[in-house]
Structures are given as C-alpha cells and as structure tokens.
Amino acid sequence: MKKTIKKAFGIFLFPIIMVGAIHLSNDVGSIIGSGSSKNGDVFPVIAQEFNIHISDEISDGRTIEVSIPVKKITTENWMRDKHMQMAIFDNEFPNIVFRANTLLPIQPGNIELDGTLTINGKDRKHQLDLLLETVNGGISIKGNTQISLKEYGIKAPGMGPMKVFDLVLIDFDLKILDSQIIS
C-alpha cells in the first residue's frame, strides 16, 4: 500500500519538478536535423545514438550534458557520411557535447537553456530553446536550434553545387518517463 501511495504521489509531482538524476539515450526520442546544399538538396542529419545526463538538483542548480558520437551521425547517404566523418571532424574529438548549468526547475513551459556546445574541440556559447510539456507518466521536451559549421572551423563538405551550406538545423523530440529518474 505504501509503494502505491508513493508512486501515485511521485506521478502527481513529477510534471512539476523532478528531484532525481536522469539518464536518457536514443530509445526515448530523436535528435534530427537537416542540411542543404547549393543545388537545392535537403538531407537529414540524424543522431543515431546520444546520451543525455541531467544531474540531481543541488543548491547551485543542475548540470545537463548531451553527448553525440560523431560516427553515429548519419545523413542517410553513406558517401556523405564517410566524407563528414573522415574529412570534417577531427578524430581527436569523437563527440559533440552540449553542457549547461541551470537553476531552472524541470517543469512544463518554455525554457531558454544557456550552455556551451563543443564540436571539434572548439567551445562556443549556445542557447537551446525548449518546450517542456506533461505527457502520460512523464514529460516531453521539444525544441530546435541551428549550428554554423564555420563557427567550429568546419569546411562545408562537397564540391561545386553539391557543397553543403553552412547552417545545419536541429530538432529535438524527447520523452522522459517517471521510471527513468534515478533517485
């Protein structure tokens, strides 16, 4: 009986504020973007694998870290993928990482998350605009951002009209269930 009451109480409070650490991976949603080339081609940029860690809340806030292995990013074109992985990204830095510290509670609404995005070992301040909504047994996180390849010292891949434009657009769609909280 006590467990049922605790679980019911936890489900009621979960959408308002979460107190435990959270670990998420690609089984809870997607990080998908799009790139485009001078010839008008628009292609997907998909993180096939990612890890997100949201720390326990402490007096000075939470730490949020998103890590995406470069070798697990696909554009659904094997030649473009190989070119990107071998020629664009330095193998010394195998992950794209976003880190933020925030005092904001995890609750429904719009959140501007200021952090640092690291690509190819280059750190740049980056803001994520997110929308958090309650869903059955958890919370949904949606948002989007854009990344300039030039800002990270990445030469646009391709040749002539097949050359990729500088900006890559990224969309987030993640779902956190109460069972994914580590308390």
Kindly report, residue by residue over 9-54, the tens digit of the pLDDT.
333 333 333 445 666 667 777 788 888 877 778 888 888 888 888 8
Give pLDDT tens digits for 153-173. 887 776 666 677 788 888 888
Q: What CATH number was assigned to the domain covering residues 2-182?
A: 2.40.128.110
Positive or negative CA dihedral for 111, 15, 53, 145? negative
pLDDT at 124: 96
- Separation CA 128–CA 104 (nearest Å): 13
Q: What is the pLDDT of residue 6?
A: 35
Task: Please tell me the distance from the alpha carbon of residue 120 to that of residue 96, in angstroms, as a whole number.
Answer: 7
In the 8-state DSSP scheme, what is residue 103?
A: -
Residue 132: pLDDT over 50: yes
The answer to whether 59 and 90 have CB atoms below 8 angstroms apart is no
Chain position carrying tokens 């995005």 = 117
Q: Where are the domains of the chain?
A: 2-182
Is the Cβ–Cβ distance between 28 and 176 less than 8 Å? Answer: yes
